[in-house]
Amino acid sequence: MKETYDIAVLVGSLRKGSYSGMLADALIRLSPANMTFRKVEIGHLPLYNPDLDGREAGGAWAQFRDEIRGADGVLFSSPEYNRSVPAAIKNALDVGSRPMGSSVWKGKPAMVATCSLGGVGGFGANHHLRQPLVFLDMPVMQQPEVYVGGVKALFAEDGSIASEATEGFLKTAAETFAGWVAKFA
């Protein structure tokens, strides 16, 4: 068993000050000390096109793949757009899974946390994201499921958690994820 685990964090919203970014930051703050986190940017990745792999556009892809390859696990924090995940996350999954047979995702334990302004908490996005993760052979933490509805009221303007109940739930999720990563990493 390793002493510390390196976790890549992918945030689906590209908006500065996004709620999914706040959710990721909260999970990071509430995680056990043996977890280290680094946000991996995905907004700059060109749309995946196999014709461009190995060329100039592929340079960003190669760097991204290296960042994911070095991680012990992955935390996905995403809003819900049109009952699914934002295009940036899907593109990142495609980029990391190619070229065929060289996926950087294989075997990496994952956690999916979604949020929305409405009451459903990104349920559709959460389940849509789990579908490709199964195909990519990523063991995804099943419980607790992290759907954060009414997210605007749960975070203060500085990004701190305004609800004790939410903080307790996210702490439990973060601790469970630490155990999940230790089991698979």
Q: How confident is the model at residue 58, as a pLDDT?
A: 63
**CATH number of the domain that residue 19 is part of:** 3.40.50.360
pLDDT confidence of 156, banded at 50, 70, 90? confident
Tell me the C-alpha distance between 41 and 47, whole Å. Answer: 14
| Structural domain harbouring 96 | 5-184
pLDDT at 79 over 90: yes
Tell me the C-alpha distance between 108 and 2, whole Å. Answer: 15
Region at 54 (left for phi over 0; alpha for psi -120 to 50; beta for the rest): left
What is the tens place of the pLDDT at every residue in 80-111?
A: 999 999 999 999 999 999 988 999 999 999 99
Structural domain count of the chain:
1
Q: Which helix (H) or strand (E) holds 6?
A: strand 5-11
Tell me the C-alpha distance between 163 and 169, whole Å. Answer: 10
Structure tokens at 23: 């959710």
